[in-house]
Amino acid sequence: MFVLAMRSIRQRPGRFLATLLSAFLGAVIIMTFNSMHDTAGQPGVDPVSAETLSTAAGVVGGYGTLLVFFAIASTLTVNVRQRAAEMELLRCSGATPAQIKRMVVGEAVVVALVGAALAAGPAMLGGRALLDMFRDSGQVARSVDHSFGPVASQSGAGITLLAAAGAAFLAVRRATGGGRRRGRARTVLAYAALVAGAMSVTSTFVFSATDAALMAPPAYGAILLSVGCALMAPRLLAGVLDRLPLGGASGWLAVRNLRERAGQLAGILMSLILFTAVGTATLTMQAVESDAVAASGAVKSVDAKNLETLNFTVVGIIVVFVCVMLVNSLYAATTYREREFGQQRLAGATPGQVLGVVAAEGLVLTVTGVCFGTLAALAGIVPFTVVRTDAVLPGQAFGVWLAVVAVAAAVTLGTGLATARRVLRTPAVRAVASAA
């Protein structure tokens, strides 16, 4: 099956570009931040600098691991679904489900290995740039030099390969069987994340306004709540569609298409919920904290500067990864609808009407993701603001929320419409014939 995987990659390399890009970016981020462990472990590094570097590597490295898995999983899920006919042909030819799983996992591992190898050079440059940022802000001594050692290289390659293998296994397992069992496990995990998030958010009121760890419970609570909502994405989308009063031909078709493809669109909705919740909650709470420190006339400590740097860095990483996941998933999913678009045009729909349906679908997805992501973010923002400033909703929240929503809408609608416009350039008869 490994030989078959290599042959599949050589014959159609284009289908693996999205996975390669996700693996490459994930390995860059993991290696960049884990090189801070190598840097902190050098002889002569003072304790304050070592703590700053190790904290950055530990926190962002953990987020990076989760994001790499989600990014690769979203692209592989679309890839496997689009190859349903190919896999069915392999099964009819005598291949067992276990052999198909090994083939798909082998493809993912090979692609991830290439991505990790390509990521080494950019990660070295990124590590130096990150260290320069810490030195310029006074969080790390000027005498500390960057080191890219075994922790960075081994963790980057190992985590990327494990994420690719695990994501591929889950994707093909769902395609070849076991979907119902996986659905029950997903529901259990979703409720567990919601309960843990609610408990974390509630524990905020145990802290005082001056506690250094005040931001941690609401931030982690918002993240866990968003994860719970993201895991329930198909169910949430179905509930929204049942209550959606969209009229007109485009609106009716959009709702019908979304209802039929709710499971396939779960990855896109998950990305939107996570991006909205984490971006809005983290940036708003950091703005509230910075304004409170400035109003008191105090000077930020090294720990406070570390936290601020980590918050902005984590949000930046999430923005990059969510954009990659959205673009990859939307591009693959929309390109795969070439035959559907061709059939609609042969039935009398104009290209403008097809684009109207795609725009309506993107709008529904964006609004749904933003709404549930906002609820998760507010669950963390409100308790933090109450304890820190005695207010309920900070004035900074609206501006941050608008910026987050603007990015989410631009990526979702822009990618969907641009890809659909490109697909529509193919004549309708050729699109139906070639995809048949």
Note the pLDDT tens digit of each residue in 361-405. 888 889 999 999 999 999 999 999 999 998 888 988 999 999 999
What would the mean pLDDT of 127-133 be, rounded to a whole number?
89
Q: Is the pLDDT of residue 302 over 60?
A: yes
Q: What percent of the chain has pLDDT over 90?
A: 18
Confidence of residue 338 (pLDDT cuts 50, 70, 90): confident
Give me the mean pLDDT over the 67-74 stretch: 71
Is residue 198 within 8 Å of 221, Cβ to Cβ?
yes
Distance CA 277, CA 375 (A): 8
The yes-or-no verdict on residue 178 having pLDDT over 60 is no
Tens digits of residue pLDDT in 194-247: 999 999 999 999 988 888 778 888 988 998 898 888 888 878 887 887 777 666
The predicted pLDDT at position 345 comes to 85
- Provide the Cα torsion 340, 341, 342, 346; round to 10°: 100
24/183: higher pLDDT: 24
Per-residue pLDDT at 105: 83
Q: Which amino acid is at 308?
A: E
- Per-residue pLDDT, averaged over 66-79, amounts to 71
Contacts of 61 (CB under 8 A, 6+ apart): 30, 33, 34, 155
- pLDDT tier at 258, thresholds 50, 70, 90: confident
pLDDT for 98 equals: 78
For range 26-40, the mean pLDDT: 89
Give the separation between CA 128 and CA 135, rounded to whole angstroms. Answer: 10
Q: Place 6 in a pLDDT band, splitting at 50, 70 and 90.
A: low
For residues 328 and 75, the answer to whether their CB atoms sit within 8 Å is: yes
Q: What is the pLDDT of residue 192?
A: 93
Res 435: pLDDT: 52
Instruction: Give pLDDT, residue 164.
Output: 83
pLDDT of residue 180: 55
- Token reading at 6: 């290599």
C-alpha to C-alpha distance for 15 and 176, rounded to whole angstroms: 20
